Amino acid sequence: MKVNVGLFVLYVLIRGGECTDNAKPSVLLDRVVNALGGAAALGDVKGLSLESSLFRSRALFQNYNLADNDQITATAAKQTISFQFNKDGLNQRIDRDLTYDDYWRYAHPTLKNDYTLVVQTGSNATACFNKGGAADHPAVPWGYADSYLTDYLVHSAEQSALLDVLNRFRASKSELTYSVTHNKASRVDYPTLSHPKLNLQLLVRNGTWLPYAVRSTEVHGVFGLSTNDIVFSNYFDVKFGQSKTIKYPKLIQTVYNDVYILEDMVVSNATVNPAFPNDFFKAVPQQAPPNAPGDPYHSHPPHTDNNYPRSEVHEFYESGLWYGPFGINLNTSAVNVKPVFPGGNVPQIQNLCVGGPGYTQLLIEFDDGLVITDAPAHRSKLILQWVKENKKGKKITHVVPSHHHRDHTGGIGDYLAAGAKLVIPEVARDYYRKVNNGKFDVVTYSQEKPFLKKDKNVQFMSFWRDENPHARDWVYSVAGPACSNFNKSEVVVFNADVINPNFGPVPNWDTAEAMPFFLDVVRQGIPREATLVGTHGATPLGLGSQDALAHLADLAGFSYPSLSGTEKWCGK
């Protein structure tokens, strides 16, 4: 084969020149602008409307598996996202009709959340739900979002508005820096422009110079420093005016840490410079009744901090579970601790809740310290302070999460920073490796060898089995008297999410999901006289989430046998 050396050298020089030129932020930015239609066409875009008949979302913090994004949030949604571009920012309006997956029926009985949200960025940034949006009352307009949610919604609007990102980058060319971003998962390199003041990066496809993603970075409580990308693909021509055309992505996705798709929408129609009605982007909160609290009726400036990072707000809001910041005005007096068996022989086994019923934990007191089950965010700080004030000379030495879902693990970092050991099944070891930058001690256990801690008064075990209900790493824990004083009626089983004890003869939980749990507690020799404490529930017993194990088994149609209760506990 004969090679034309001259042409080959010319090709190398051209490609080499491209690489060198791209290192100049202004050159790369100009290439992106030209690829999308040119500066003149983009400059004439004052408004944009994106219609979508397909929107889907997933909840990274509620997956069954530890390394997969397998939990659907929205199975379907129709939406229109509208933008109006101004010198001092942009206006965004989202009209969305959303249907949740059946998994979320416990929080959204109708599985619907239809809402209208208007967001204004810039110096007077606000976010207001003119229609729907409230997690607990979806038919009622939520009104103005709190400061943490406003921050997330404003940031999301700014990051997803691709044309506005380009405008802001073009207005600040001298501040842009160039780098190359390597995607380890796909092994693709992207020329990248960074705007340090905006905490945004523009990743560009080599060759086509079309935007690949707008990236922001954030700190996640489990994953550590993380990337949150709005990814654009499948560009198509959008014509407007008499003879102008721009390219715009048909598929828009939110991708976390390069591999987890959290949201995706397919644009079925894009309209440039639509005739928006007057007050289309105006915030219209509910009319405040006399002496009403101000939160939903008055705007709140955006605010973020380490207590409520955007990663947390994103996870809870997009699942319809954001109710605002927890416990802003709470102190240690809100920590309620009571023995599971009042007047019994094991006062060391205690129920604990913070603020009010709805989330219960177990606190087990040993001679050398305390063991706590689960680690919901924000409660953790109050509990640690309560222990300091009320358990002189003792600390929480072990934290035992029931599973990896965010509402059960959001406070793990606080306990580990205070010196507690993380007690988890071996399958979850890798999942938690970045918590507190990996600076903590871990104790793992397996199906064959449960976790056990005991002293002369009390003993505690945690059980994991393969193919659990609810989550891959789901566990249940059991506490009871020491073998020297064993009493079948003073054994407590701690269970999260699989069984939620409640009023009435019909269980408000999935009996099919509970069946593997009942079979395993029998296998482990847990006596039918035991008490079950759930993280959630509504009963008149204990702190509101407690019931007899045998009664719960009866509700589920499970015949619980009589057992000695000592098979696994005392070697009898």
Helix (H) or strand (E) holding 477: strand 475-481
pLDDT-based confidence at residue 16 (cuts at 50, 70, 90): very low
Measured distance CA(322)–CA(326) in Å, rounded: 10
Q: How far is CA 212 from the centre of its chain?
A: 24
> Is residue 563 in some structural domain?
no
Measured distance CA(557)–CA(510) in Å, rounded: 12
Same domain, 352 and 226: no
Pairing of strands 451-454, 475-481: unpaired
pLDDT tens readout for residues 366-405: 999 999 999 999 999 999 999 999 999 999 999 999 999 9
Cα Rg for the chain, rounded, in angstroms?
28
pLDDT tens readout for residues 403-416: 999 999 999 999 99
User: Mean of the pLDDT values across residues 151-161?
Assistant: 98
- Is a pLDDT exceeding 80 seen at residue 439? yes
Same domain, 313 and 361: no
Same domain, 275 and 363: no
> Is residue 567 in some structural domain?
no
User: Mean of the pLDDT values across residues 539-553?
Assistant: 92
H helical segments located in 46-191: 147-160, 162-171
Measured distance CA(485)–CA(487) in Å, rounded: 6
Measured distance CA(527)–CA(434) in Å, rounded: 38
Measured distance CA(408)–CA(399) in Å, rounded: 11
User: Mean of the pLDDT values across residues 143-158?
Assistant: 96
Give pLDDT, residue 14: 38
Give pLDDT, residue 355: 87
pLDDT-based confidence at residue 215 (cuts at 50, 70, 90): very high
The pTM (predicted TM-score) of the whole model is 0.92
Measured distance CA(427)–CA(444) in Å, rounded: 9
Nearest-10 Cα torsion for 170, 172, 173, 179: -100
User: Mean of the pLDDT values across residues 15-32?
Assistant: 75
Residue recorded with tokens 């996870």: 315
pLDDT tens readout for residues 297-331: 788 999 999 999 999 999 999 999 998 898 777 89
Cβ atoms 154, 302 nearer than 8 A? yes
Same domain, 432 and 491: yes
Give pLDDT, residue 382: 96
Q: Any residues with CB less than 8 A from the CB of 57 and at least 6 apart, and which?
A: 72, 73, 74, 77, 262, 263, 264, 318
- Is a pLDDT exceeding 80 seen at residue 1? no
> Is residue 286 packed enough to be buried (19+ CB in 10 Å), middle (13-18) or exposed (0-12)?
middle
Of 541 and 6, more confident: 541
Measured distance CA(33)–CA(47) in Å, rounded: 17
- Is a pLDDT exceeding 80 seen at residue 503? no
- Is a pLDDT exceeding 70 seen at residue 491? yes
Amino acid identity, position 240: F
pLDDT above 70 coverage of the chain, percent = 93
Give pLDDT, residue 327: 74
- Token pair recorded at residue 438: 């990996």
> Is residue 327 in some structural domain?
no
Q: Say how many domains are in the chain.
A: 2
Same domain, 100 and 145: yes
> Is residue 561 in some structural domain?
no
- Is a pLDDT exceeding 90 seen at residue 20? no
Measured distance CA(454)–CA(349) in Å, rounded: 12
Q: Which domain holds residue 55?
A: 9-286+295-317
> Is residue 560 in some structural domain?
no
Residue 194: closest CA among 222, 145, 227, 232: 227
Same domain, 446 and 532: yes
Q: What is the mean pLDDT of the chain?
A: 91
Segment among 12-16, 224-228, 482-486, 503-507 with least mean pLDDT = 12-16
User: Mean of the pLDDT values across residues 157-174?
Assistant: 96
Same domain, 359 and 433: yes
Measured distance CA(358)–CA(537) in Å, rounded: 6
> Is residue 571 in some structural domain?
no
Cβ atoms 466, 416 nearer than 8 A? no
Same domain, 407 and 430: yes
- Is a pLDDT exceeding 80 seen at residue 508? no
Cβ atoms 427, 66 nearer than 8 A? yes
Same domain, 363 and 282: no
Give pLDDT, residue 433: 96
Same domain, 192 and 266: yes
CATH code of residue 434? 3.60.15.10
Give the start-end residues of each E strand in 102-243: 112-120, 126-133, 141-144, 177-183, 188-195, 200-204, 211-220, 224-240
Same domain, 30 and 164: yes
CA angle 198, 437, 190 (to 5 degrees): 45
CA angle 133, 137, 140 (to 5 degrees): 65
> Is residue 180 in some structural domain?
yes
Cβ atoms 355, 327 nearer than 8 A? yes
Same domain, 95 and 66: yes
In 116-143, which positions are buried (b, 16+ CB within 10 angstroms) versus exposed (e)? Answer: bbbbbbeeebbbbbbbbbbbeebeebbb
pLDDT tens readout for residues 52-81: 999 999 999 999 999 899 999 999 899 999
> Is residue 324 in some structural domain?
no
Cβ atoms 428, 404 nearer than 8 A? yes
- Token pair recorded at residue 179: 């780098």
H helical segments located in 187-309: none
